[in-house]
Amino acid sequence: MGLDHGQWNEQEHEIVHRIRKRVIEVVGRNMELYGVTLSTGHLYGLLFFADKPMTLDEMGREMQMSKTSMSTGVRTLLDLKMVNKVWEKGSRKDLYEVEYDWYQTFTDYFANEWRSAVESNLQVLRRAVKEIERLLGSEDTSEFARGVLERDLEKIRQAEKYYRWLDRLIDAMEDGEIFDLVPREP
């Protein structure tokens, strides 16, 4: 697990390895909530315990997986801002380490993933509202169609309200207001 075997005995190494493995396992598993693969979650766990930034080759060795997989895994985590690329002079390999500010990770996740979902939804909903309103205003629309359209419109309006709320919630996460309501531990 990337630990120097020279300076301690095999038994101690085993114990640390076992503890880490269990933590990595559960952290990795629950990362599926962020929509990442189990193995990408494990990669994250590996980086979490690494005492220094790691290269793709090192990750591949530890994970017993191809460098290609490490490359794609790391990129996923970069997109989620869960790991950072680190520069170290002298090395021309790319180095990566986890973002240890998990509050930041959490709020970034919403700012990235949820925001774009909310925006695209709102856009489509607004367009649908417009179109329905146009139809309701038209002479040619039958009474029966009016009924259907009005019910749809009401539903869509409700959905819009919800998405606007979600948008504001994401704002509150992005600008840290959320920590007024639910404070961090010191």
Q: Which residues contact 76 (CB under 8 A, 6 or more apart)?
A: 36, 37, 40
Question: What does the DSSP assignment read for 132-171?
Answer: HHHHHH-TT--HHHHHHHHHHHHHHHHHHHHHHHHHHHHH
Residues that bind DNA (CB under 7 A): 37-40, 55-57, 64-69, 71-75, 92-94
The span of 36-44, 74-82, 86-94, 164-172 binding a second copy (CB under 8 A) equals 164-172
Fill in the DSSP letter of residue 89. Answer: T
Within 10 angstroms of residue 147's Cβ, the number of other Cβ atoms is 10
Is residue 75 a contact residue for a second copy (CB under 8 A)? no
Three-state DSSP state, 96: strand
In the complex with a second copy, which residue's Cβ is closer, 16 or 66? Answer: 16
Is residue 139 a contact residue for a second copy (CB under 8 A)? no
**Dihedral sign computed on CA atoms, order 106, 111, 112, 117:** positive
> Where along the sequence are the contacts to a second copy (CB under 8 A)?
3, 7-9, 12, 15-16, 19-20, 22-23, 25-27, 29-30, 32-33, 35, 48-49, 51, 100, 102-103, 106, 113-114, 117-118, 120-121, 124-125, 127-128, 131-132, 135, 141-142, 144-145, 148-149, 151-152, 155-156, 158-159, 161-162, 164-166, 168-169, 172, 177-178, 180-182, 184-185
